[in-house]
Chains A and B, each alone.
Chain A
Amino acid sequence: MPVPPGKVSSMQLARGGAVRKYLRVAEISLTNRLAYLADHLVSSIFLILILFIFSQLWKTVLGTEGQIAGLDSTRMLWYMVFTEVIALSTPGTHSLVSEEVKSGDIAYKLVRPYSYILYYFSSHCGEYAVRFVTNLLVGSAFAYLAMGPLAVPWAKLGWVLLGLALAAAINFLVSFSVALLAFWLEENRPFFWILNKMLFIFGGLFIPVEAYPQGLRLVSYLLPLRYSISGPALLVVNFDYAFLWQLLAGQLVWVLLLAALVTAMFRKGVRRVHVHGG
């Protein structure tokens, strides 16, 4: 029988208030990931591989004097450490959600006493924290050995962490909204491929978007991806208060817009769920 639409969606969202419940979900997710720490470290081999290739590339292209977007070869590699760490630490929550929607397993989650969106957000944050720390340790160790240290703005660490946290939220919301397309489309994987590649371009995964021609730079300023990858990384390697305010403003706007979009998509999509006995 069809799930009463108004009832389910309002119940799902009303349950968002109990912060402690979601902190517990995040903690469980974090503990689960800690159990597979060795597994995470093995996964970091890919990070080392990419950083190795780019350390060679930037040494060749920039040498000791050259700069791109105001960054020399050492800071370009450190920039990439942070963009890659952000990208690689983002858990595959979207595939879980996608599969649940396609298989209909979402029906089991809908009757549980929590908000579906907040549950996955909390779980995402717990896993992200573990991945982020392990990837950052591995990436930083490599960059330090390959190119030398980065002058870290320790006194401004709080601002940097805030930027990184908002970036994680944007990443979650973007991929969650694509995952929710499964309510309407049979096959939504190609959208993830495109999203991944758009991260390359408009997220500035390899090179700061400031290095792009003006038109493309403008487009990337208008999209959320730059605020979730390139922006926070640039803030770490080239801290500047004017850039910080611009970044935080953009991040907050995108978090609000995307949260509204995800909520609207979920409300509309969940009305299409039909629960059958069995």
Chain B
Amino acid sequence: MFTEVKRLIRFALHYFSANLQSAMEYRGAFLSQVVFMFINNLMLLFFWWVLFSKIETLNGWSFRHLLLLHALVGGAYACQALLFGGSFSLSRSIAEGGLDFYLTLPKPVLLHALISRSFAAAWGDLAFSLAVFFLTAAPSAGLTLCFLLLCFAGGVVMTSFAVLAHSLSFWLGRSERLANQLSEALLSFSLYPEGIFSVTTRVVLYTLIPAGFVAYLPVRILDEFTLARVGLLLCFALALAVLARFVFYRGLKRYESGNLVVVHAAD
């Protein structure tokens, strides 16, 4: 089993490297995307800076918490976009018969579809995430490792949620817009502090739209580390990934080939 896992990790790394080389082919465009994405994210913090110049805290959330939240969500999003970029267009592949390519190859279909794409601009998200984290937390090596783990777990939650949303296409047909809006909802809720939401909304944000596991719980972990919280986050991420995999393969039984003959190349 370990050999198989090692082989899959190596397979994913090959794709990651190929996607990176492909993006670097146009170095100017790559760098401009990264730099502009960094600035783009920085500007998102402006609103909070203005707001926190007028108030001290927001139901227990300070500006520092907000910065950590943005660092974590930026890192989680970068993880999804860089490692599992195919999750953004899964429903289109399903509706247009684009999974044919993956079905003919001796690799896990879902993993292959997810890792086959990567978004160069997300390097800007990663740079933003790390910069904000280092400036805010002045971290030790251990805390940095913990931060990277939390970002990865958040990325797995975001990817699994996207897979679940996009898998609706197996049953509903073309539902790309719905899937995108659900993913957008997860990202949007993740970018606002938990303290502003009512109890009912928080229940939703820890279950149906799991922003709590992408943003709120990781911020608490960075603020006050406990193994129980880390364990809870990792268990949730793993369980959601297993559920997403189950739903995808269940839906795949309903998949109909598009009889498309296309050249498949890394974007």
B43 close to A197 (CB less than 8 A): yes
Q: Decide yes or no whether B181 CB sits under 8 A from chain A.
A: yes
Instruction: Choose one: B35, B39, B54, B58; the contact of A60 (CB below 8 Å).
Output: B58
Which residues of B, 1-52, contact A by the 8 Å Cβ criterion? 28-29, 32-33, 35-37, 39-40, 43-44, 46-47, 50-51
B40 close to A197 (CB less than 8 A): yes
Q: Decide yes or no whether A46 CB sits under 8 A from chain B.
A: yes
Give the residues in chain B near A197, CB-CB below 8 Å: 39-40, 43-44
Nearest-Cβ distance from residue B225 to partner chain A, whole angstroms = 27
A207 close to B32 (CB less than 8 A): no
Nearest-Cβ distance from residue B180 to partner chain A, whole angstroms = 9
Q: Decide yes or no whether B184 CB sits under 8 A from chain A.
A: yes
**B170-183 interface mask toward A, CB cutoff 8 Å, 1 = contact, 0 = none?**
00000001100100
> What DSSP secondary structure best describes chain A's contact surface?
helix
Q: In the complex, A18→B196 CA distance in Å? A: 53
A60 close to B196 (CB less than 8 A): yes
Max chain A Cβ within 10 angstroms of own Cβ: one of B35, B196, B198: B196
Interface window among A149-157, A198-206, A221-229: A198-206
Known A49-B185, A56-B201, A194-B36; contact A211-B196, beta-carbon cutoff 8 A: no
Q: Decide yes or no whether A133 CB sits under 8 A from chain B.
A: no
B177 close to A50 (CB less than 8 A): no
Q: Decide yes or no whether B195 CB sits under 8 A from chain A.
A: yes
Q: In the complex, A61→B47 CA distance in Å? A: 14
Q: Decide yes or no whether A3 CB sits under 8 A from chain B.
A: no
A53 close to B188 (CB less than 8 A): yes
A49 close to B201 (CB less than 8 A): no
Minimal Cβ-Cβ distance residue in A for B41: A197
Q: Decide yes or no whether B259 CB sits under 8 A from chain A.
A: no
A49 close to B188 (CB less than 8 A): yes
Nearest-Cβ distance from residue A181 to partner chain B, whole angstroms = 12
A207 close to B51 (CB less than 8 A): yes
Q: In the complex, A187→B177 CA distance in Å? A: 26
Which residues of A, 38-64, contact B by the 8 Å Cβ criterion? 39, 42-43, 45-46, 49-50, 53, 56-57, 59-61
Instruction: Choose one: B36, B53, B185, B198; the contact of A56 (CB below 8 Å).
Output: B198
Known A46-B181, A46-B184, A201-B46; contact A61-B51, beta-carbon cutoff 8 A: yes
Nearest-Cβ distance from residue A49 to partner chain B, whole angstroms = 6
A190 close to B33 (CB less than 8 A): yes
Known A193-B40, A197-B39; contact A61-B184, beta-carbon cutoff 8 A: no
Give the residues in chain A near B36, CB-CB below 8 Å: 190-191, 193-194
18 contacts between A and B (CB under 8 A): A43-B177, A46-B184, A49-B185, A53-B188, A56-B201, A57-B196, A59-B196, A60-B59, A61-B58, A68-B54, A186-B29, A193-B37, A194-B40, A197-B39, A197-B40, A200-B47, A201-B47, A212-B50
- Interfacial residues, chain A to chain B (CB-CB below 8 A): 39, 42-43, 45-46, 49-50, 53, 56-57, 59-61, 68, 186-187, 189-191, 193-194, 196-198, 200-201, 206-207, 211-213
